[in-house]
């Protein structure tokens, strides 16, 4: 039986939900997935850190108060965030990185990923910053160190998008995609269709936990722009940077615009899209688009996300599901760990 030792970097909602899943489901995973997970280190800038090579109690971690320095209450815990020590020295095989996204330089998350990969540890992350801004460098680093760097949760949380497109749609020749890739802005637009004002709708999205720490990143399209960069680089082999993607958000849409669209049999949606042009170049944008009601993305309401891939062999393939949420995003980390396990098992079977 395989047991992976796991270090959790960032202990906000996502890694806390992963600890809860481990507490509840480890025995089930043993039979269902062929492995169990043991948490050997946790670090968080606000809560502090704790390490134990023999394993920490996942249920107690999941219940830890959210007060500053709370890790100090645990045996061996400290209110200092010993990030480097936890990543490099707590004996983990896999680092689960789920700190906040910094859209400017991807730090400190990028350094966390770098330290782990250089030390020969697999990394699973839900963080858009390191992938959108430093994806090529981190992937090359992982390859050089013969470890995995997985980031399914960076786009549409646990709804399988990246692996679905790269593995199940491989060979279908994807030529582009368009997606509703931000739950907050879609929730806001849906609330506005019900007559709620923009500011009130944003407040509701914050209260429900969909919005980024700074909700302007959601409604101005910056969050979607990072996701467009990730998907275009992964699926279209583009080499886009954030500045290659034109970006307009939904803040200028009024209740009148939305009512007029309804009258005309259409809905406003914030769409992130990329397309391969005839000359091979990739054009990419984030913008509000008026979709007629028969468009595959027009019926997506509330905080739900969806992406529609265009491929030469299948035409449009659309997948919808949650794009945010603690447990939903923790599931993305689990799906990355499952992928690591399956690859390792395959290598063992072939003596590679």
| Residue 108 sits in the site that holds ligand HSE (CB under 6 A) | no
Smallest distance from ligand HSE to CB 25, Å? 23
| Residue 266 sits in the site that holds ligand HSE (CB under 6 A) | no
| Residue 297 sits in the site that holds ligand HSE (CB under 6 A) | no
Q: Of 142, 323, 330, 340, which one interacts with ligand HSE (CB under 6 A)?
A: 323
Burial class (CB in 10 A: 0-12, 13-18, 19+), 339: middle
| Residue 99 sits in the site that holds ligand HSE (CB under 6 A) | no
| Residue 135 sits in the site that holds ligand HSE (CB under 6 A) | no
Lay out the sheet containing 2-9: strands in order across. Answer: 48-51, 35-44, 2-9, 94-97, 122-125, 149-150
227 tagged catalytic: yes
When the beta carbons of 211 and 245 are compared against ligand HSE, the nearer one is 211
| Residue 328 sits in the site that holds ligand HSE (CB under 6 A) | no
Q: Of 159, 182, 304, 311, which one interacts with ligand HSE (CB under 6 A)?
A: 182
Stretch that binds ligand HSE, among 79-87, 205-213, 251-259, 265-273 (CB under 6 A): 205-213
Smallest distance from ligand HSE to CB 35, Å? 27
Q: Of 77, 158, 183, 272, which one interacts with ligand HSE (CB under 6 A)?
A: 183
| Residue 322 sits in the site that holds ligand HSE (CB under 6 A) | no
Stretch that binds ligand HSE, among 6-14, 61-69, 177-185, 258-266 (CB under 6 A): 177-185
Q: Of 324, 330, 332, 340, which one interacts with ligand HSE (CB under 6 A)?
A: 324
| Residue 212 sits in the site that holds ligand HSE (CB under 6 A) | yes
CA distances from 44 to 70, 108, 125, 210, 328 (A): 10, 12, 15, 21, 21
| Residue 48 sits in the site that holds ligand HSE (CB under 6 A) | no
| Residue 340 sits in the site that holds ligand HSE (CB under 6 A) | no
Q: Of 93, 152, 218, 244, which one interacts with ligand HSE (CB under 6 A)?
A: 218
CB 227, CB 154: distance < 8 Å: yes
Cα–Cα dist 180/196, whole Å: 20
When the beta carbons of 44 and 218 are compared against ligand HSE, the nearer one is 218
Smallest distance from ligand HSE to CB 297, Å? 15
Smallest distance from ligand HSE to CB 49, Å? 25
When the beta carbons of 77 and 183 are compared against ligand HSE, the nearer one is 183
Q: Which of 38, 88, 227, 269 is catalytic?
A: 227
Which amino acids are annotated catalytic? Answer: 227
Chain residues that interact with ligand HSE, rule: CB under 6 A: 182-184, 210-212, 218, 223, 323-324
């Amino acid at each position: 039986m395989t047991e992976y030792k796991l270090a959790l970097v960032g202990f906000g909602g996502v890694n806390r939900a992963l600890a809860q899943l481990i507490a509840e489901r480890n025995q089930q995973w043993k039979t269902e997935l062929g492995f169990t997970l043991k948490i050997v280190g946790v670090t968080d800038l606000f809560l502090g850190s704790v390490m134990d090579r023999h394993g920490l109690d996942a249920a107690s971690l999941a219940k830890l108060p959210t007060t500053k320095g709370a890790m100090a209450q645990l045996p061996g815990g400290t209110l200092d965030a010993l990030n480097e020590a936890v990543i490099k020295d707590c004996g983990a095989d896999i680092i689960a990185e789920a700190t906040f996204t910094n859209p400017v330089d991807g730090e400190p998350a990028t350094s966390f990923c770098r330290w782990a990969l250089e030390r020969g540890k697999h990394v699973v992350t839900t963080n858009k910053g390191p992938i959108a801004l430093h994806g090529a460098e981190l992937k090359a680093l992982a390859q050089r160190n013969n470890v995995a760097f997985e980031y399914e949760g960076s786009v549409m949380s646990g709804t399988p998008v990246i692996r679905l497109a790269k593995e199940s749609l491989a060979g279908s020749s994807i030529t582009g995609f368009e997606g509703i890739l931000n739950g907050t802005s879609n929730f806001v637009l849906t609330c506005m269709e019900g007559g709620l004002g923009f500011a009130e709708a944003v407040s509701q999205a914050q209260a429900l936990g969909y919005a980024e720490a700074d909700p302007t990143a959601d409604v101005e399209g910056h969050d979607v722009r990072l996701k467009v960069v990730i998907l275009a680089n992964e699926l279209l082999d583009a080499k886009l940077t954030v500045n290659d993607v034109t970006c307009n958000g939904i803040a200028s849409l009024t209740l009148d615009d939305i009512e007029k669209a309804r009258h005309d049999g259409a809905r406003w949606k914030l769409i992130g899209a990329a397309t391969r042009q005839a000359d091979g170049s990739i054009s990419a944008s984030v913008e509000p688009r008026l979709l007629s009601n028969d468009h595959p993305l027009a019926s997506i309401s509330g905080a739900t996300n969806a992406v529609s891939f265009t491929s030469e062999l299948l035409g449009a393939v659309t997948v919808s599901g949650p794009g945010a949420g603690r447990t939903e995003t923790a599931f993305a980390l689990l799906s990355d760990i499952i992928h690591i396990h399956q690859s390792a098992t395959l290598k063992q079977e072939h003596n590679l």
